[in-house]
Amino acid sequence: MQEYTITVTPEDKGKRLDVFLCEFATNKSLGFSRTFLQNLITNGFVFIEGANCRKPHHKVKQGQQIKITIEEKKSDTLKAEDISLDVIYEDEDFAIINKPAGMVVHPAPGNLEHTLANALLHRFRKLSDINPARPGIVHRLDKDTSGIMVIVKTNNAHLSLAKQFFCHSIKRRYIALVKGKMEFDENIIEIPIGRHPYKRKSMSVGFGKNTRYAKTFYRTLKRTENYSLLELEPFTGRTHQLRVHLAFLGHPILGDRKYGKNNEFSRMALHAKYLGFIHPTTGKFVEFSSQMPGEFKEFLK
C-alpha cells in the first residue's frame, strides 16, 4: 500500500478536495487522474486530520494534513505486449524512446491494452514501480503527440526526475505546425490555464481562482501564407498547455480537433524534439533529441 501526506498551503485553501489532490498528483507526476482520485475519496481512502472524508467537493483549509492511501494494483491488471519501440538510449537508470503519434502512454479504465505501458513491460526487465499501474512512466505525452520521452527503470531515478519535472528544471522543446502566419519571430505566452468551465475534458485560459500560471516561449522557424512552423519551450507543465496557448492566440496546432477543430493534417502536428535533465546517478546534465517527423517536412514542401 502506498501513502501520501500533504499539508494544505495558504495558496490552496478553499479548493475542492479532488482538485487539490489532482494538482498534487500532477505536480508530483504520479499519473493519477481526477476521476481516480474522486473514487479514492468516495471509497474512504482519503483522511483529513485523521478523519475519513468521502466528499470530493469538500473545501480544504490551510494547515490541514491530508493523507491518501492507495492499495497496490494486482500485477495481472496490466499485460506485457510485444509492441515495437524506438529506443534511442538506455542505461541502468532510464531509457529514452521516440514515441509514435497515436500511441496512448498509460492505461485508463476500459483501456488496459496496446499502450506504451504494455510495451514497456515486454521490452524492459526492470521498471520503476512507484505507481504500479504505470510502471516506468514519470511523465506523458498526449496520444497524438510524437517524440522524446524518458522511461525510468529504478525508483531512485523516478523520484529524481519527478522532482525535476515538479521544479520545471527539465528542458523541453517541441516543434509544431500551426494555422496562420505568425506575426512575431519569437515571443512569450504568459496566460493562466484551468479546467474549462463547461467541457470537463478540456482546458482553457482564464483568470479564475482555479486557474494556474502557465508560460510558453515560442520561436517562428518558417512561415507560409497559411501556416507556420514553431519551436516551443514550455516553462510550466500544465495539461494541454501548448495546445491551449496556441489556440488562444488564434494559431491552433494543425490536426488538433479538440482545440483547433481542423483536419488539415493527418495527425496532431506536435512533436517533442528535445529533452535535457540532470542524470539521477552521475549528476551531469544529459540531453537527447529526435528529428522532425517526415510528414512535417512533406507538408512544408
- pLDDT tens for the 301 residues of the chain, in order: 678 899 999 989 999 999 999 888 877 767 677 778 888 898 889 999 989 999 999 999 999 999 998 875 544 478 899 999 999 999 999 999 999 999 999 887 656 789 999 999 999 999 998 888 889 999 999 999 999 999 999 999 999 999 899 888 999 999 999 999 999 999 999 999 998 888 877 899 988 878 899 999 999 999 999 999 999 999 998 989 999 999 999 999 999 999 988 778 889 999 999 999 999 999 999 999 999 999 999 998 8
- Cβ-Cβ contacts under 8 Å for 111 (sequence gap 6 or more): 104
pLDDT tens column, 179-223: 999 999 999 999 999 988 888 778 999 888 788 999 999 999 999
d(CA 248, CA 246): 5
Would you say 87 and 95 are in contact if contact means Cβ atoms under 8 Å apart? yes
pLDDT at position 1, please?
66
pLDDT at position 35, please?
77
Task: Decide if 142 is catalytic.
Answer: yes
pLDDT at position 270, please?
98
Structural domains of the chain ordered from first start: 2-70 (3.10.290.10), 76-166 (3.30.2350.10), 173-272 (3.30.2350.10)
Instruction: State what percent of residues in the chain have pLDDT above 90.
Output: 68
d(CA 29, CA 264): 33
Residue burial 4-37, b: 16+ Cβ < 10 Å; e: rest: bebebeeebeebbbbbbbbbbbbebbbbbebebb
d(CA 30, CA 135): 11
pLDDT at position 146, please?
97
- Cβ-Cβ contacts under 8 Å for 60 (sequence gap 6 or more): 8, 12, 13, 14, 15, 16, 17, 20, 48, 66
pLDDT at position 75, please?
45
Among residues 12, 18, 93, 142, which one is catalytic? 142
d(CA 67, CA 61): 14
